[in-house]
DNA sequence: GCGTACGTGTCCTGCCGATGTCACAGAACC
DNA sequence: GGTTCTGTGACATCGGCAGGACACGTACGC
């Protein structure tokens, strides 16, 4: 799941970012509405969390603009006040749901899940298997054959992405977007480094390498 | 897909070039509008990415000129600012779409794809087969019969081009343009050299040669 | 509150494959 | 036979990639 978070309060943003991040979701955060709208694309994000009160452009205004442009991504409005009037105003502007602060993270997550409800894809399965590889998103565990792999969160996401496309090249750009939520090239060996770490755990101890490099393009996971 | 990129910022150009290149698309880059327009009339492009702000000739001016000349190629306008006014100005001048920086590469690609929407051709298939040759663009793999061919990126593109026109002559100029994104003749044996390397892997180990030279013109791949 | 361990991202280095140019030999055409 | 075009080996260069070292921030246990 890719979530776009538009929230000016650093505290709240941090709280949400961490919470959803722990669930394996990718959160892209913008404190201002303007830049955030630029980042937003209908296909890329599963849902948007939008703060009602923002410096510069108000949440409602941003939402109106968004809907005016014909973008139909699910939007969850976040607000300190949750009076009936606010609620109505928000929903009228095109919000799909409304949540007042303070809120429980679990509730936020639940609502996002229901908002972003999509036809069940490979991407949504809780357990993926590719050959002797098994990845369990709920238990946050990965195995190769009988050996349990001790992966860091980043390595886990990386492997997740690869396993979603077995036998297909996964480009570096794609990984930057899906794993790190970056829309630009950091021009460092970020991907290489983590790929190297993943390989150290995934391939090094075994005879056959599952991850192959495709020079100038990206990486492939050996298909089953 | 053949894309013409008009962008003065080297950083952005590199990012786009690499990203789209990873997807197997060919990107011809010009930092200035003037020369770019000349190239446009020479080559066949599926879409143009045009920066809004350019030194010398402004993006809008270039676009107006282009449309004035009756060229109807799809144009995607790229800009730092994406206010409503800019958007309208761009679209009025004849742009087909508008994208503000920063953007996700996947979004750019998606929009280009929809802009360049063409009848699904060989050029768009993920797997091409010509006789005993099989080329899989997604897996980035090529086979002749049961033998997997270990091709470099350039060789892969070269074979791709040949396989798109089985039994037809592919000119050297065409290859320079489609594989290398060159709109001029480098006056070296660039194509010959790489063709020789491709042959070494594609024809040398087998009895029947699939690639034939057409003197003074180009090359033909034996049809199925 | 403090120290330690871990995760993460950046930088650096070495290695190696890919790439483009050139020179020369060979083939095709006149 | 002469000329032009093509094939291919040699060569230098470039750039991508792997992996180690390091710095920073955070989480956790004491």
Q: Give A40-86 pLDDT, tens digit per residue.
A: 754 578 888 888 877 767 777 888 777 766 677 888 888 765 444 55
Going by the DSSP 8-state scheme, the letter that residue B123 receives in this structure is: G
Q: Which of B15, B82, B104 to mutate to test the interface with A (most CBs of A within 10 A)?
A: B104
Q: What is the pLDDT of residue B85?
A: 59
CA A153 and chain centroid, separation: 13
| C chain positions with any atom within 7 Å of a protein CB | 6-12, 17-23, 28-29
Pick the residue from chain B with its C-alpha nearest to A43: B107
> Does residue B219 have a pLDDT over 60?
yes
Q: Using beta carbons and an 8 Å cutoff, which residues of A are at the interface with B?
A: 35, 37-39, 41, 43-44, 167-169, 171-174, 177, 183-185, 214-218, 220
Q: What is the pLDDT of residue B86?
A: 61
Averaged pLDDT, B98-107 = 74
Q: What is the pLDDT of residue A50?
A: 87
Average pLDDT, chain B: 83
> Does residue B144 have a pLDDT over 90?
yes
> Does residue A125 have a pLDDT over 50?
yes
- Among B62, B222, B53, B28, smallest CA distance to B144 is for B222
More confident residue, A88 or A146: A146
- Is the minimum distance from the CB of B113 to strand D below 7 Å? no
Question: Does the pTM of the predicted model rise above 0.85?
Answer: no
- Is B102–A215 a contact, with Cβ atoms under 8 angstroms apart? no
**Chain A window 177-196, residues with Cβ within 7 A of nucleic strand D:** 189, 192-193, 195-196
pLDDT band at residue B21 under the 50/70/90 scheme = confident
Lookup: tokens for A44: 């890329």
**Closest CB from A38, A44, A172 relative to B106:** A44
Q: How far is CA A74 from CA A21, A27, A37, A71, A90, in A?
A: 19, 15, 14, 9, 13
Give A51 to chain B, closest Cα distance, Å. 21
- Is B19–A44 a contact, with Cβ atoms under 8 angstroms apart? no
CB < 7 A from strand C, the residues are A 150, 152-155, 180, 186, 188-190, 193-194, 197, 215-216; B 150, 152-155, 180, 186, 188-190, 193-194, 197, 215
pLDDT band at residue B193 under the 50/70/90 scheme = very high
Averaged pLDDT, B75-103 = 71
- Among A22, A19, A69, smallest CA distance to A49 is for A19
> Does residue B180 have a pLDDT over 50?
yes
pLDDT band at residue B143 under the 50/70/90 scheme = very high
CB B50 within 8 A of CB B93: no
- Is B102–A39 a contact, with Cβ atoms under 8 angstroms apart? yes
Q: Are strands B141-144 and B133-136 parallel, antiparallel or unpaired?
A: antiparallel
More confident residue, A29 or A44: A29
Q: What is the pLDDT of residue A122?
A: 45
- Is B102–A168 a contact, with Cβ atoms under 8 angstroms apart? no
- Is the minimum distance from the CB of B187 to strand D below 7 Å? no
CB A75 within 8 A of CB A51: no
Lookup: tokens for A185: 């090239």
pLDDT band at residue B28 under the 50/70/90 scheme = confident
CA distance A95 to A48: 10
Sign of the alpha-carbon torsion through B202, B203, B205, B208: positive
3-state secondary structure of B8: coil
- Is A38–B100 a contact, with Cβ atoms under 8 angstroms apart? yes
CA A93 and chain centroid, separation: 25
- Is the minimum distance from the CB of B217 to strand D below 7 Å? yes
State, as a whole number of angstroms, the distance between the CA of A197 and the C1' of D27: 21
- Is B140–A185 a contact, with Cβ atoms under 8 angstroms apart? no
Kindly state the helix (H) or strand (E) to which residue B39 belongs, with its residue range: helix B33-42
A 10 A CB-CB count for A38 gives 19
For the residues of A152-218, what is the DSSP string, one character each?
Answer: -HHHHHHHHHHHHSTTSEEEHHHHHHHHS--SS---SSHHHHHHHHHHHHHTTTSSS--EEEETTTE
> Does residue B210 have a pLDDT over 80?
yes
> Any idea which nucleotide's C1' is nearest the CA of A199?
D18
């Amino acid at each position: 799941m890719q979530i776009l978070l538009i929230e000016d309060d650093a505290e709240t943003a941090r709280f949400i970012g961490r919470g959803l991040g722990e669930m394996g979701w990718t959160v892209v955060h913008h404190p201002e509405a303007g830049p955030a709208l630029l980042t937003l694309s209908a296909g890329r994000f599963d849902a948007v969390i939008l703060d009602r009160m923002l410096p510069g452009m108000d949440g409602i205004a941003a939402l109106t603009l968004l809907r005016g442009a014909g973008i139909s991504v699910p939007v969850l409005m976040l607000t300190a006040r949750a009076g009936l009037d606010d609620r109505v105003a928000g929903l009228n502007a095109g919000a799909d749901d409304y949540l007042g602060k303070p809120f429980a993270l679990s509730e936020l997550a639940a609502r996002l899940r229901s908002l972003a409800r999509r036809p069940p894809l490979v991407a949504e399965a809780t357990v993926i298997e590719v050959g002797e590889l098994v990845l369990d998103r709920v238990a946050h565990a990965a195995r190769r054959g009988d050996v349990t792999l001790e992966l860091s969160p980043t390595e886990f996401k990386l492997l997740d992405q690869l396993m979603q496309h077995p036998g297909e090249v996964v480009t570096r750009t794609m990984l930057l977007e899906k794993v790190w939520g970056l829309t630009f090239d950091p021009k460092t060996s970020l991907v290489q480094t983590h790929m190297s770490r993943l390989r150290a755990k995934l391939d090094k101890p075994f005879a056959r390498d599952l991850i192959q490099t495709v020079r100038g393009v990206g990486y492939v996971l050996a298909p089953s």
